[in-house]
Structure 1
Amino acid sequence: MNIEAMLDLMSLEEQVSLLAGEDFWTTVAIDRLNIPKIKVTDGPNGARGGGSLVGGVKATCYPVAIALGATWNPDLVAEMGVSLAGQVKSKGASVLLAPTVNIHRSGLNGRNFECYSEDPMLTASLAVAYIKGVQSQGVAAAIKHFAGNESEIERQTMSSDIDERALREIYLPPFEQAVKKAGVMAVMSSYNRLNGTYTSEHSWLLTQVLREQWGFDGIVMSDWFGSHSTAETVNAGLDLEMPGPSRDRGAKLVEAVRQGQVDPGTVRAAAGRILTLLQRVGAFDAAPDLSEHAHDLPQDRALIRRLGAEGAVLLKNEDDVLPLAKSGLRRVAVIGPNSAQARVMGGGSAQINAHYTISPLDGLRAALQGTADIAHAVGCSNGRLAQLFEGAVEARYYKGVGCQGEPVIVVTEQNGEFFWFDLPSSELSLKDFSVRMTGAFTPKENGQHFFGMTNAGLAKLYVDGELVIDGATDWTKGENFFGTANSEIREVRDLRAGRSYTITVEYLSPPPADYGINLTAIRFGVEKVLGDEAIQEAVDTARAADVALVFVGRNGQWDTEGQDLPDMRLPGRQEELIERVSAANPNCIVVLQTGGPVEMPWLDKVRAVLQVWYPGQELGHVVADLLLGDQEPGGRLPQTFPRRLTDNAAITGDPSVYPGKDGHVRYAESVFVGYRHHDARGVEPLFPFGFGLGYTSFRLDAAEASTTIMADSGIEVSVRVANTGARAGADVIQLYVEPTASDIERPVKELRAFAKIALQSGESGTVSLSITPRDLSYYDVELGAFRSLPGRYRLVIGSHAQDRRSTIDIELPQEWRGAVDDRTI
């Protein structure tokens, strides 16, 4: 199709219509010209489709991004991208809103789990692989969030104040490589301001850097409700306002053109890029089928299981207690709040309705069936919200906000969480509807239970007709549902085991003006109050077992979009649980599930620690594979684990640095993020960047370089690796560059290349690592270029950021400069 000829046939109004969505998930069609609409879908660890944030058609749930970052395996991530593209198509979509490549800055970011790493080189390598995999199947990737969205606190208004050197060296390279190496088709602007200007109307960012310097020729889209103006966004380079219907485009943009505020050529160019995207995803060849269906494939299940194992990081393994020998197990204690619950993903827009989930308890029961007895105890809770009500919920939908008259439609759902992008009947309006939800709860034990509810909109919860929670009177906005719902209200009631209690919730849609963005959602649940007796039960269970497996961490209520973490400690009484269980059973193994680093004051009291993150729907099978030795824990940390929160570069005690003050958060650490900070300031980490143990051992021979004189062609470094252990395994060989002395303060060293190698017992192999003159450089703001000074540089090769197995000194004979508009890397 000839795009320019198509644009010639279009009126200004038609061109403008392409620059905003039709609804929450689709673009606008122009029937007169046979221009179809396409659907986009959230990612990055699955393809949800256009349904509810918490429901809809079932989808495959892959590991979260930090777990992918821990694989250090771009080839495997590319394989996931191919698989994920099939999921996108099964949801009738053509664009995947992923990957997320913001940098792990503070350790407290609510979306830390959704990002790959603290290091831009590792992040970029994995993002390029992910995008290539997705786009090889004719699906567009939309990399996000461009740029400076490293915190969820006041994210829709906060200004991330970042110096240009830090931007060029740390925060922009993943986006840059996505453009130059992967040909990414779409970029999503972030909510925040960057140095005082909203990124959605930041011409330096969207036009000068992205298009003119890097050569990006795809579309730039807003995050949902993340554009705030008409002329400013279009002129800055924002092509697509999402979601629709338009708030700032449409007639407003047509008028802005007629008033001379926007050049008609600017609108034409943006419309042309939208048409080019449609062409690239094949929409003109055959109008997309927007219908959705579940697509559960055995090869996807196997891939998730492999990804989970390759991303799991073994942090401690005293006396090689892992893997556990099945033959030596008679009784296994499975303990902790994450043992029987399948914590497979984080919260927020990354949530999907997984085909199924396997809990660690279920996975171990299946793996040890007929071999060992399993005793289970929860010990304590770790939820930020009440445990979600699970079971049939009859939802009766009414016109108006009174739950009166005959319902328009009656729908039965399977839990107590509702997030409405659309309603189940076209007769209903999101601006004026109500729902009466009814379910039955039968406690398994006598005792006190707490009911909890949070609602974006007004709601009341009744138990057997008694008003228990009033979420309507004096409603105030809190932190849930992206900051549009109230804080959870809890009330305790004494319940009897075996008796059925009727829970009724009446929900009234809110006036949109009360919210800023029109979100309608509710979540309610009930949970037994766990006290000292629950921990004592866990202790008794552990004491009687050969080994105590303690499953602790967080969940998607903590690791979630819309809010940051309060600290880096395990929530609830989990630390106490670990200490008491380990005192009762010396064979105590902790399995961690968090979306980032956590403090470990209990580390010396346990024999092993395995970090499995949120590895997707196969969680329980992955855990069993790893603990019992059927798979190797192949992960290495993509983020430094500090000993304490205050060891982090962003946690200085100055609120202007974190979490922000007066609408600004100042990145005072500049380029000294993560291990760069720990190196430069002499702060010993708990576990260094790149660290991870395995079930075998490796020997690295002295590295060899193709030459020690750096020229434009770069240098190849080869390292011979031998598996000296008794079983197969994999190691990650990492190359860091230590710069020559200069007047510019630079990190002590920076990751510049890595390779993962898998070897059988006794097998050897060679990895090749390439570096170029840019790998020696820093960004010179005054010159507006990357600059490598002449002199001596040291290449450090090892298995983590504090490991120096081998070094090579090289020479750069003359200064090298790399222009920002160089289209190669």
Structure 2
Amino acid sequence: MRSDTVMPDGTIVDAVSSNIDDQTLHELYLWPFADAVKAGTTSIMCSYNRLNGTYACEDERMLTQVLRNELGFRGYVVSDWFATHSTSKVANAGLDMEQPGELPPGVKTSHGGGGYFGPSLEAAVEVGNVTMERVDEMARRLMTPYYLLQQDDPDYPTVDPSMPYLLAISNDGWESGLLGGRPEGGIPGRDVRANHKELIRKWGASAAVLLKNDDGILPLSDKTACGGEPMLYIGVFGNAVFDVTEGVVAPPNTPQEGQEDGIITIGGGAGGGRNPYIISPLEAIKSQMNKVDGTVQYITSNKVLANNDLRSIYPKPDVCLVFLKSWAAETYDRPSLELSWNSTVVVNNVVKFCGWKKTVVITNSAGINTMPWAENSNVTAILAAHYTGQEAGNSIVDVLWGKTEPSGRLPYTIPKTVEDYGSPIVNLTGTDGGLERNSSKWQADFTEGQLIDYRHFDAHNTEPLYEFGFGLGYTTFKVEGDLEVVKLGGNTTNDLPDAAAPIEPGGNTDLWTEMLRVTGRVSNTGQRAGSTVIQLYVSSPLAGRNGIPVQALRGFKKIQLEAGQSGSIEMVLRRRDISHWDVMAQQWRIPSGEFKLALGLSARDLSANKTTRVLG
């Protein structure tokens, strides 16, 4: 229940409450917001849910004390659609703008133009529940970014005139009542693509994460079949390899498991988008094999593959490419971490059919998946392509045939089993089998604190299948020698940031003071040019105690090297990178004792280490 909901019997159920302790809130969940404010973002959205029992758009502590006073945010706060639940309360808490837009038929509140702001805000001012000073403040916050971004300039682009049509049609179809009075058929969207398709193809390929590549089966461009003959017979399997059959845009009513047929290019809901076209992997593979007069045989029905009916394939392919997928979208959780549509049965059947070390699996998914088949020795390579956009097929083929090196690294941990994650599931099933109607039970307690993902695996000494930060390329790298650590601020004796320092966007400016410079040496030990992502982890003197992570990622850089070449990598740690949030003092504090700094290729491959003291 992401927002308040009226049940069929009239019961109003409040949104789920995310209950997070103050240290976890600051050291984990506010961290990227501080980065965004520091970078100059001009607007921030408050969400649907409650935070520690208070609706996010009514949370004065978060919107004013933390966001304004602590992080120094100077832009405006806007609500998500239908995320406002009051007028005076949200206005006085720090909401500057209710999400604008036309009200759908039958909806009378929670949008601009007739919602909790507009006339309702005027009435609140008239009776003294909201001051004119607060309204003036709202206006300043809204107009400051307007002038900062020069939106008053005559040459500033206007809003794409197709937006009203797209919104109405996407939500309600071509019969939408919101289309009344507008030209029949709508108008084309503004074309700003330029060479975007080349960039999408390039980034989609380079962002892929190569998880396994036994015997260097990839890239396929320089491989031969048995007997040294050219690799001319390609077998392609799975329902994520061919064109979508229900349109290039996933509609809002897409089922929880997603569309059965076709490649997934982008997630659903607010994470979605409209493809002008889609290049499927099957289309791109055919094009690639046409260059060598090769043969492409395929079965795209997972039902057929799960039934182990592969008699349409003859002869047996030189290599078998299996495409699996799972759908992710706004408004609901994924039902399982395993890839969808009988994925494990499909892989096992194809592997058995194709034989010794011939199978490559490509996953088409938004995030974490369990892979029960990953350690099968005949699954020779695994490529996590994720959602690669409209050029999906070309991007994947560029990686498989070696035109582009996969240089993505896992931004999450892949477990051996789903139980390894250990995250509690919030069960909101009522006694009658339906949704729980008691709002007080809609609680998501973040009892894991900061120990999420790799931090959880570190804390419990759990061996992952593929660790956070992991990823292979088409060459190999090594971080060599000792780290060089230089104190940039001399001998620091103050564990707290300078209280007299100004509060600028990003917070107390002293939190961004550079404290340590870390330098390491990296070598390309392989046979071809390539790139890797070097990662810097920090272990605090308090690590492993009172919910403090064993280590925390505090920097990463991509480096490109020729075969046999070495280079240096340098990263800087700021005061906030080596501080913890002191709940009692409500301040960031550097702990006394030794810090361990580690540089390497992933969270579990850290070959260069150094200990240092910061205080004293």
Interval of TM-score (by shorter of Structure 1 and Structure 2): 0.7 to 0.9
Pair 1:300–1:208, CA change in 2 (3 A):
same
Match of 1:571 among 322, 335, 340: 340
Secondary structure of 1:701's partner?
strand
Which blocks of at least 5 consecutive residues in structure 1 are unaligned? Answer: 1-108, 111-144, 146-153, 381-529, 815-825
SS in 1 for 2:199: helix
Q: Deviations over 1:464-523 (max 9, x none)?
A: xxxxxxxxxxxxxxxxxxxxxxxxxxxxxxxxxxxxxxxxxxxxxxxxxxxxxxxxxxxx
Q: Secondary structure at the match of 1:719?
A: strand
1:188 is aligned to 45
Report what 2:520 is aligned to: 719
CA distance in 2: counterparts of 1:611 and 1:740, whole angstroms: 36
Q: Which residue of 2 aligns with 1:700?
A: 479
Report the CA distance shift for 1:634/1:155 in structure 2 as closer, same or farther (over 3 A). Answer: farther
Distance 1:713 1:627 in 2: 42
Where does residue 305 of structure 1 map in the other structure?
Answer: 201
Residue in 2 that maps onto 1:316 = 212
Aligned residue for 1:337? 239
Q: Which residue of 2 aligns with 1:377?
A: 299
Q: 1:617 aligns with which of 374, 390, 408?
A: 390
In structure 1, what is the equivalent of residue 596 of structure 2? 794
Deviation string, structure 1 residues 241-291 (Cα, Å, up to 9, x no partner) = 113323111222111112111111001110122222322333322275333
C-alpha separation in 2, matches of 1:649 and 1:230? 40
Query: What is the aligned partner in structure 2 of residue 279 from structure 1?
Result: 147
Cα contact 1:315–1:608 (8 A) shared by 2: yes
Is 1:728 aligned to 2:509, yes or no? no
The superposition leaves residues 529-581 of structure 1 with CA deviations (integer Å, 9 ceiling, x where unpaired) of: x457x743447538611000000011xxx301010011211222221110010
Answer whether contact 1:310 1:632 (CA < 8 A) is retained: yes
**1: distance between equivalents of 2:491 and 2:208?**
37
Deviation, structure 1 residue 294: 4.1
1:448 is matched with none
Give the match's secondary structure for 1:604: coil
Q: How far apart are 1:350 and its partner, in Å?
A: 2.5
CA distance in 2, matches of 1:649, 1:778: 25
Matching residue's letter, 1:642 = P
Residue identity opposite 1:549 in structure 2? L
Secondary structure of the 1:707 match is: strand
- What secondary structure is seen at the aligned counterpart in 1 of 2:298? strand
Residue matched to 1:401: none
Distance between the aligned counterparts of 2:427 and 2:197, measured in 1? 46
| Structure-1 separation of matches of 2:399 and 2:409 | 15
Distance 1:220-1:652 versus aligned 2 partners, 3 A rule: closer
Residues 676 and 750 in structure 1, CA contact (< 8 A), matched pair in contact too: yes
Are residue 666 (structure 1) and residue 456 (structure 2) matched? no
Alpha-carbon RMSD across the aligned residues, in angstroms, is 2.6
Find the aligned partners of 1:802 and 1:749 in 2 and give their Cα distance: 11
**Alignment CA distance shift 1:736-1:288 (3 Å):** closer
Q: Once the two structures are superposed, what CA deviation does each residue of 1:280-321 show, in whole Å capped at 9, x if it has no partner?
A: 333322275333534264521121122112210011111111
**Aligned-pair CA distance for 1:725:** 1.2
Instruction: Sort the Cα spacing of 1:539 and 1:761 in 2 relative to 1 into closer, same or farther, 3 A.
Output: farther
Quote the Cα distance in structure 2 between the aligned partners of 1:302 and 1:284. Answer: 33
- TM-score, normalised by the number of residues in structure 2: 0.78
Alignment of 1:56-75 (within 5 A): none
Distance 1:208 1:652, change over 3 A: same
Counterpart-to-counterpart distance in 2, 1:749 and 1:786: 18
- Of 602, 607, 613, the match for 1:805: 607
- TM-superposed deviation, 1:654: 7.6
Corresponding position of 2:170: none
Amino acid at match of 1:603: A
CA distance in 1 between partners of 2:395 and 2:440 (Å): 42
Distance 2:124 2:425 in 1: 45
Spell out, residue by residue over 1:359-413, the C-alpha distance to the aligned partner (whole angstroms, 9 max, x if none): 1101111222131211111131xxxxxxxxxxxxxxxxxxxxxxxxxxxxxxxxx
Residue of structure 2 equivalent to 1:140? none
Residue 710 of structure 1 deviates from its aligned partner by 6.6
Size of the aligned set, in residue pairs, is 508
Shift of the 155–682 alpha-carbon distance from structure 1 to 2, 3 Å rule, reads farther
Identify the residue that residue 170 of structure 1 maps to in structure 2: 28
Shift of the 653–686 alpha-carbon distance from structure 1 to 2, 3 Å rule, reads farther
Residue in 2 that maps onto 1:474: none
Within 1, Cα distance between the matches of 2:608 and 2:587? 31
Q: Is the 8 A contact 1:543 1:584 kept in 2?
A: no
> What letter corresponds to residue 165 of structure 1 in structure 2?
Q
TM-score (norm 1): 0.59
Q: Contact 1:379–1:577 (CA<8 Å) still a contact in 2?
A: no
Aligned with 1:177: secondary structure? helix
Change (3 A) 1:278 1:703: same
The residue that corresponds to 1:265 in the other structure is 133
How many Å separate the matches in 2 of 1:367 and 1:156?
54
- Give the distance between the partners of 1:795 and 1:568, measured in 2 at CA: 33
Question: Equivalent residue for 1:686?
Answer: 465
> Where in structure 2 are the equivalents of 1:640-659 lying within 5 Å?
640-651=413-424
User: Does structure 2 conserve the Cα–Cα contact (< 8 Å) formed by 1:649 and 1:672?
Assistant: no
Asked if the contact 1:345/1:614 (under 8 Å) is kept, the reply is yes
Evaluate the alpha carbon distance shift between residue 369 and residue 719 of structure 1 in structure 2; reply closer, same or farther with a 3 A threshold.
same
CA contact (8 A) 1:738 1:750 kept: yes
Alignment partner of 1:219 is 2:86? no
State how far apart, in whole Å, the 2-side matches of 1:721 and 1:210 are.
39
Aligned to 1:365: 286
Q: Equivalents in 2 of 1:542, 1:357: separation in Å? A: 29
* 1:410-809 equivalent positions in 2, closer than 5 A: 530-531=303-304, 535-538=307-310, 541=313, 544-554=316-326, 558-585=327-354, 586=356, 587-605=358-376, 606-651=379-424, 662-707=441-486, 711=492, 713-741=514-542, 744-809=546-611
Rounded Cα–Cα distance in structure 2 between residues aligned with 1:189 and 1:793: 36
Distance 1:804 1:352, change over 3 A: closer
Kept in 1, the 8 Å contact 2:450–2:547? The answer is no
SS in 1 for 2:284: helix
Amino acid at match of 1:330: L
Cα separation, 2, equivalents of 1:764 and 1:156? 57
Q: 1:710 to 1:667 in 2, by over 3 A?
A: farther
Cα separation, 1, equivalents of 2:483 and 2:474 = 27
Kindly tell me: are residues 647 and 205 of structure 1, through their superposed partners in 2, closer, same or farther at Cα, counting changes over 3 Å?
same
Distance 1:322 1:296 in 2: 36
Q: Equivalent residues in 2 for 1:125-144 (5 A)?
A: none
What amino acid maps onto 1:686 in structure 2? L
- Aligned-partner Cα distance in 2 for 1:759–1:649: 39
Q: Deviations over 1:623-654 (max 9, x none)?
A: 10000111101010001112222222423688
Q: What per-residue deviation string (whole Å, max 9, x for no partner) do you get for residues 696-730 of structure 1? A: 01122224324367746412111221212111211
| 1:698/1:553 CA distance change after superposition, 3 Å | same
Which of 27, 52, 59 pairs up with 1:202?
A: 59
| Counterpart contact for 1:156–1:191, Cα < 8 Å | no
CA distance, structure 2, for counterparts of residue 179 and residue 713 of structure 1: 18
Percent identical = 35
Whichever residue aligns with residue 237 of structure 2, its letter is I
Shift of 1:769: 1.1
